[in-house]
Structure 1
Amino acid sequence: MNDYLNNPLLLIIDMQNVYKEGQPWECKNYDNALSNILDLLNDGRFSQDNTVLTRYIASVHPTGVWKNYNKENAEINANQWYNDLDQKLQQRCKDYKCYDKSTYSSYSVKEIQEAVNNASSVVITGVVAECCVLATVSSLIDAGKYVYYITDAVAGLDNEKEEATIKVLEGLAPLHLSIMTTNEFKALAKNDTGLSKLNLF
């Protein structure tokens, strides 16, 4: 039995409208990532008890370089629709926990730290591969938590950045994480008798 699969947490990072096709921060494989995230949600292994979503929302009290960030992205920060979660996820995860963050790493959120601490591992999905996703994975590894990086449920700004992110993470596998597709994770979880749905909050 793989102990990492006893009670994994599904983390869905920043699947917001601004990253959709044709939008200012478009991620080329956003639609494919969304489809695979929904596949994981509909597979029966994850529920509102062991799934967390995040949104990136600019800080109203930025410090340091974040002041420049807010100035450069003021128009996007002020657009509510850009900041909203994808409508499909809003509908599918209506009663799920979603936390706002103003840093790249989702692990900066206290409630997510608590959920992570109660989980056996974290299944990583969302955007942006080379930014918020990579920052979150790094934080999780520093915290000693095992990670499943789901390549086709993560999107970067383009294919090259997605591949570069994977290349960096390969140096940390398999000790700290496993890199696999949605179907590979589903097959691994299906074959593991220890997987159960537990309340992580």
Structure 2
Amino acid sequence: MGKKDELSYGPLSPRTTVHLCVDMQRLFAEDTPWRTPWMPKVLPKVVELAAHKPDAAIFTRFIPVERPGIGQGTWKRYYERWADVTLERIGRAMIDLVPDLRAFTPPGEILDKQVYSPWIDSDLESRLQRRGADAIVVSGGETDVCVLAAVLGGLDRGYRVVVATDALCSSSDEAHDAMMTLYHQRYGQQVETATVQTIRDAWT
């Protein structure tokens, strides 16, 4: 597949498409150890996408553990390294969505998770099944971490996956660019990539 700004498989159904917005939270937008510097730059595009179909939005939130020493396997070591972002230190207010997106809940839904993937130990799939969903538009952050996990989980379950190219962010420009190349060249048969405007035009 090429890198043209188009949807290879035609329009998106207004009834069976869901917008999965990944981890657009204060924790990553504000002055914390996990700040994603260009989240504010892409936020207007994420808002534009959410505003297009507010009732089709599911917003994930990454929830750190309560305190260092908690966690299974490598996650325990992870939070020893990142002790300053555990809930007892960072405060629960920081896990909230950024205010511009919190305004869309409701009708948009919130899905909390404690790992990169929104598909593990969550009811995401049952929520999608209740909606009769067959397609997922993905936005948010980070391109090379939680967004990647959301995309691959969707593919594994057979959903049509569309990545909103101008509504993604990462703290690593190099990793973001590498992931976009990967989506085009390695997953191009299954992953569609397009700008928010193109997605909106195809989702009416």
State the TM-score, normalized to the length of structure 1.
0.83
After TM superposition, give the deviation of residue 4 of structure 1 in Å: 5.0
> How many pairs are equivalent?
187
The residue identity in structure 2 corresponding to 1:122 is I
Aligned counterpart, 2:191: 177
The 1:111/1:97 distance shift into structure 2, 3 A limit, reads same
Tell me, yes or no, if the aligned pair for 2:136 and 2:160 is still in contact at 8 Å.
yes
What is the aligned counterpart of 2:103 among 91, 94, 101? 91
Tell me, yes or no, if the aligned pair for 2:42 and 2:169 is still in contact at 8 Å.
yes
The 1:73/1:166 distance shift into structure 2, 3 A limit, reads same
Alignment of 1:19-168 (within 5 A): 19-20=28-29, 22-43=31-52, 46-48=53-55, 50-59=56-65, 62-78=71-87, 79=90, 80-117=92-129, 118-168=132-182
Q: Helix, strand or coil for the counterpart of 1:167?
A: helix
Q: Helix, strand or coil for the counterpart of 1:108?
A: coil
Structure 1, unaligned stretches of length 5 or more? 191-201
- Share of identical aligned residues, percent? 22
Work out whether 1:13 is the aligned partner of 2:48: no
The 1:28/1:75 distance shift into structure 2, 3 A limit, reads closer
**Runs of 4+ residues over 6 Å off in structure 1:** none
Structure 2, unaligned stretches of length 5 or more? 1-8
After TM superposition, give the deviation of residue 75 of structure 1 in Å: 1.7
Tell me, yes or no, if the aligned pair for 2:65 and 2:86 is still in contact at 8 Å.
no
Aligned counterpart, 1:198: none
After TM superposition, give the deviation of residue 172 of structure 1 in Å: 4.1
In structure 1, distance between residues paired with 2:111 and 2:162? 21
The 1:99/1:189 distance shift into structure 2, 3 A limit, reads closer
In structure 2, distance between residues paired with 1:155 and 1:12? 12
In structure 2, distance between residues paired with 1:101 and 1:14? 10
Q: Helix, strand or coil for the counterpart of 1:119?
A: coil
State the TM-score, normalized to the length of structure 2.
0.82
Tell me, yes or no, if the aligned pair for 1:76 and 1:82 is still in contact at 8 Å.
no
After TM superposition, give the deviation of residue 51 of structure 1 in Å: 1.4
